[in-house]
Chains A and B, each alone.
Chain A
Amino acid sequence: MATTTAPTSSHPAEATNQVKHRPDRNYRRKQRWGWLFVAPFALIFLTFLILPLVYAFRMSLFTSTLATGNKFVGGDNYIKAFSDPIFLQGLGTVAKFALIMIPAQMLVALVAALVLDNLATWASKFSRLMIFIPYAVPVVIGALMWGFLYSPRFGPASSIFGIFGLTAPDFLAQDNIFGSLVNIVTWQWAGYYMIIIYAALRGIDPGIYEAAVLDGASDRQIALRIKVPMISSSLVMVVIFALIGTLQFFTEPQVLRGVAQGAIPVSYTPNMYAFTLAFSYSQFNYASAISFALGIVVFVFSFIFLFLTRKQSGLK
């Protein structure tokens, strides 16, 4: 009865099988077959990820300016990057996004999943699909669409707020752009996360909360005390992917910049900064360094997060 969310791990079984019982001949055979199965992926992985990464890393060790030639500078670009106020400010921005956007998405996704888990009506099935549907909209098109929706004159905001007798805020103004971006991302991804969490909730053996029900526990208590802890490894996974995505935040602000150039400068997030440096200012070497510097930051943050949640995620 081991579903993926069940805490009983299969690692011990695996280890015994593979190490203790195998005679030498079998061991070598397994070596070869293991590589054969992995080989096709490994080839693509080397060609389209590792090789470009190595090349990009090499680029990041050189410098070239518009007026002078190319020269090797070692780690100078990285020193420059980590003392570049624009890059650091971008990091600050995505850190702020991570602190606000991820909890916002998680909250919507988790509450929706918990509510859906308690219902089995036609309406709840329908809602589940409708909430998920934005995931099927390509990010570029979703962001373009929100750009239209946010437009004060062109978009529907003023008529919607008008129903309640309110004046619509300018979603594209400097002070509001942060919230507007949080909203786009939440709209796009909360449904997807909700489905993951929902699927994990369905994987729990309902026998577990039957006893709690008999003891008179309320739905809320069951949700918070039993369900959420049971699916914590799913939650950790969802947050990790949201974290990586948020630190690499790019498409939504880049597209929205098309309608709010003042409020979203070209270097709003580190990834946008790298993109602009490379394709708008022709500083390919420094752009590579910025990308790797961002990669390092993403790695460190993901690692810290996994370390902090090692109990929940089951990682040792």
Chain B
Amino acid sequence: MALVTDTPQRRDGRRARGSAARNRARNGGPRIGSHIFLLMLVIYFVTPLWWLTVASTKDTAGLFGGSGGPLWFDDGFHFFSNPQGLFERQDGIYWRWLGNSFLYAISGGVGATVLAVLAGYGFAKYNFRGRGAFFGILLGAVMVPLTALVIPTFVLLSSVGLVNTIWAVILPSLLSPFGVYLMRVFAQEAVPDELLDAARIDGAGEIRTFFQIALPLLRPAIVTVLLLSVVGTWNNFFLPLAVLSDPLLLPVTVGLNGWQALSNAGSGGEALWNLITTGAFISIIPLIIAFLSLQKYWQGGLSLGSLK
């Protein structure tokens, strides 16, 4: 029962065989055409981020009329003074936003993953009454756009006094129908019933069976679902915009958007463009680092959700 991510030997074997076969079939050159194609793709995907990097080193005047043009550095290099501006603006509220984003993404992501693992395992391994109907509703509910839910969610949260608290963001982000779906598909494949039955015959309870047998087998999927739900919560924009009014509770996406609105406003507006670009630049670094450093965990897991 080989899984997608635990296949180092298999993959090495495959590579050896594959390239051997290739070398026989082809001239075995360095595949210049493929590399040029990839280079073009990389340029396309990276240029906007390069622009953002450059922009984050400019002050507002440099952004609007600097010497280097949009894609190159300006004479004035503000790579250090811009983050300093982020510390100064409203007592460094930007860093608080970044911290909030971390809090929401990690608590929402971990919570959603825990719920998804339990539910996915339950759906996959127990044939309880109402399972099919529940799962059907789950997939159908994803079809209605979330804008419809803002008012009802607000009403709900406000009836229990949770509007404008961190729970107003964290609780709704515990919901990850997609995560449950992935977990179900994966658990069906990766956790053999025979193994569970053997554990039960040995006298293990359902909970012990789950923790000792199923959970280790589900690990690759857990990492994937965790990353996906962390990204989902990190991206969260509209719900926090509607349910939070305290600026100290905002995630960084909503906060930066607010600065953008302020900079676009005429009356009572302030031009914060350099802080926006720098703030955006800094805010995407953590996720990029997370993805780069965890790549061996998530890359295989992403194909888990293939329909059966």
Contact = CB atoms under 8 A, between A and B. Distances in A.
Nearest to B236: A138
Contact of A1 (B2, B42, B292): B2
Contact of A292 (B148, B174, B235): B148
Contact of B119 (A4, A37, A112, A240): A37
Interface in B253-308: 253, 256-257, 260, 264, 276-277, 280, 283-284, 287-288, 290-292, 295, 299-308
A14 B299 contact: no
Nearest to B193: A17
A66 interface: no
Nearest to A191: B45
Given A55-B152, A131-B41, A40 B48 contact: no
Interface stretch (A28-36, A70-78, A174-182): A28-36
Contacts of B27: none
Contact of A119 (B34, B42, B153, B303): B34
Interface in A286-316: 287-288, 291-292, 294-295, 298-299, 302, 313-315
Contact of B122 (A34, A131, A156, A294): A34
Contact of B308 (A1, A233, A270): A233
A263 B240 CA distance: 28
B204 interface: no
Interface residues of B, number: 114
B294 to A, nearest CB: 11
A199 B14 CA distance: 14
A89 interface: no
A169 interface: no
Contacts, number: 329
A5 interface: yes
A16 to B, nearest CB: 9
Contact of B291 (A53, A132, A198): A132
Nearest to A218: B25
Interface stretch (A80-88, A97-105, A142-150): A142-150
B77 interface: no
B171 interface: yes
A226 interface: no
A55 B171 CA distance: 18
B110 interface: no
Interface in A178-199: 187, 191-192, 195-199
B219 interface: no
Contacts of A224: none
B302 A48 contact: no
B98 interface: no
Given A1-B1, A206-B17, 4 more contacts: A44-B175, A144-B256, A251-B237, A258-B260
30 contacts: A4-B306, A9-B308, A14-B193, A19-B127, A36-B122, A37-B210, A38-B119, A38-B128, A40-B114, A49-B149, A49-B177, A52-B149, A52-B156, A115-B38, A121-B35, A127-B41, A130-B42, A131-B42, A136-B288, A137-B49, A140-B256, A144-B257, A144-B260, A156-B70, A197-B303, A205-B14, A214-B25, A275-B147, A278-B147, A294-B144
